[in-house]
Structure 1
């Protein structure tokens, strides 16, 4: 498979930063409110990609007694990563933005944490495309779906630190572009990834499940009421259906 397609997917997924930033600039507070609904779709996409795409693929290359411990290991690894990069989460950025030194430190930590996170996403994308186009498309959609609301929140936080719109837009997108070297490194090592599919995919699946349940689900509970709950579930199910549909594509497509 040509390296052009995973690279193109990497640039498209990186555009999540521009989508989120543009939404804030055009819609303001309404965009932040809409991000709650985007999270519901993102949760479904991540869970669907993990359980209906990555895990079945892993089980084709390794027995269940090896895959399931690796799935658990992936979750534990992301718990550790969460502790290391804890500053990147939106609910921890809103407090204490009153002094210039604090504001600059918050923006710096946010951007570096997001860059590392996007680099890891790039590794996931490159490795997935090395498995098959269908796996790459599924991973791309899952990453994009959870990156749009994340980047939307990040851009809003950068603006709250006092950063200009132009500078916040540029720096937020540059941090998103760290995904590209991750894609290239993983895809150029395609022979290694293909030999390691049995252990790589469950690790990635564990990461997706952790991100969905630990990072994103708690944000849904801020909206209460039967109507909000029904809409959230419908969007979540829609998110699950998309990777399920992509999984029906021929692997050689």
Structure 2
């Protein structure tokens, strides 16, 4: 009887002592962390480094390295050769890569190319853009990039995810406003997509039915010889008459293209400052999108009365928008991403009391623009069908295969 009482007493006493020790240790750790933060001695990055010194975290790091060893793949080696410098240097190099080759390819394009024939390439670009946004940008925005050598920790702050979501929405709505403004300025024509000629061809056919004009080879010709063309035809390019609205659409598309390239530059700069891997994959996605985009705009300029040389020159000028966007993004990252902690009191002095800075808003903003370009601006073109059902089914299958290939490259 006495033995059972002593065992129960000592077991309860041991449990009480163990609980007290755990409580003291927990209070000590919390008090030390609050003291360091209150004194402004640790930033968020420094807290991450201190956590890596914890024995439990070091054990997790060893387990991670043992179960998922880092391998040097061919793609990683190629990226290291293409982007060997700092984030700013790599962003400028990426801008050169996405602006130079697509524009030089225009020299090989015939002047009468139909941008609607680029649907397979457009589908491939859609897969790349959406794959980069969903597989890389959004996880990086909310969780950060995984490291192959150590575990990572996410600081959960009030309003942080809310602000990041707002930045994504602002990027999306910015392109909605730009596209809507372009459509209003051109009287419902145009829009920032790759199927420009299809819309103009429809308008020409409607105009021909109403005014007695034949449409031959995409050109409007008066049925009555000797009759002068209507008052809105302001310029001739060979035998082709270019209406004022089509001419205006060409110039407005150049403005939209310049603005679009600025956002591409912002995307490249913000992604390289996030991580080299995110920057490289974003460069690949933008590059594959730029080829059909530049060809489509080139065809629209030809239809608007530009010569081939003038259209190529205009495309090179709009390519400077990407360089401008990259420089702006680098400036924001370098001077707008300081330590958000107040050195005196340790309070978060970032946006809305969080650790976010203006530089952190660039990546979610560009993710919003990518979502718009990859869905609203391009998907409606892929949904258009013709009267030949068999041909459309084959094209649809090829488009899905191309879209899956674009997304698959992002998974690599």
User: TM-score, with normalisation over the residues of structure 1?
Assistant: 0.82
Q: Which runs of 5+ in 1 are unaligned?
A: 246-253
Distance in 1 (CA, whole Å) between partners of 2:116 and 2:249 is: 23
Q: Is the 8 A contact 2:265 2:322 kept in 1?
A: yes
* Other-structure match for 2:307: 164
Provide Cα deviations, 1:215-238, integer angstroms capped at 9, x if missing partner.
111111235633222211111111
Distance in 1 (CA, whole Å) between partners of 2:408 and 2:163 is: 27
Shift of 1:196: 4.2
Distance 1:157 1:67, change over 3 A: same
Distance in 2 (CA, whole Å) between partners of 1:185 and 1:98 is: 41
Distance in 1 (CA, whole Å) between partners of 2:233 and 2:101 is: 29
Distance in 2 (CA, whole Å) between partners of 1:74 and 1:19 is: 29
Shift of 1:165: 1.2
Distance in 2 (CA, whole Å) between partners of 1:4 and 1:12 is: 12
Shift of 1:177: 2.1
Shift of 1:7: 1.2
Q: Structure 2 residue aligned with 1:84, among 181, 184, 207?
A: 181
* Other-structure match for 2:260: 117
* Other-structure match for 1:249: none
Distance in 1 (CA, whole Å) between partners of 2:123 and 2:410 is: 15
Note if 1:202 corresponds to 2:364: yes
Structure that is richer in strand per residue: 2
* Other-structure match for 2:373: 211
Distance 1:22 1:233, change over 3 A: same
* Other-structure match for 1:236: 403
* Other-structure match for 2:331: 188
Distance 1:80 1:122, change over 3 A: same
Distance in 1 (CA, whole Å) between partners of 2:140 and 2:270 is: 13
Shift of 1:132: 1.6
Larger radius of gyration: 2
Distance in 1 (CA, whole Å) between partners of 2:285 and 2:97 is: 12
Q: Is the 8 A contact 2:106 2:312 kept in 1?
A: yes
* Other-structure match for 2:292: 149
Structure with the larger RCO, 1 or 2 (CA within 8 Å, 6+ apart):
1
User: TM-score, with normalisation over the residues of structure 2?
Assistant: 0.53
Note if 1:52 corresponds to 2:187: no
Provide Cα deviations, 1:111-138, integer angstroms capped at 9, x if missing partner.
2221122122212211212222212122
Aligned length: 243
* Other-structure match for 1:221: 383
Q: Is the 8 A contact 2:172 2:372 kept in 1?
A: yes
Shift of 1:104: 4.0
Q: Is the 8 A contact 1:125 1:136 kept in 2?
A: yes
Distance 1:78 1:71, change over 3 A: same
Equivalences for residues 91-110 of structure 1 within 5 A:
95=203, 98-100=233-235, 102=244, 103-110=246-253
Note if 1:139 corresponds to 2:139: no
Taking only aligned residues, the RMSD between alpha carbons, in angstroms, comes to: 2.8
Distance in 1 (CA, whole Å) between partners of 2:87 and 2:139 is: 24
Q: SS in structure 2 opposite 1:163?
A: coil
Q: Which runs of 5+ in 2 are unaligned?
A: 1-85, 145-155, 184-189, 205-231, 236-242, 339-356
Distance 1:147 1:193, change over 3 A: farther
Note if 1:5 corresponds to 2:172: no
Q: Structure 1 residue aligned with 2:119, among 18, 32, 36?
A: 36
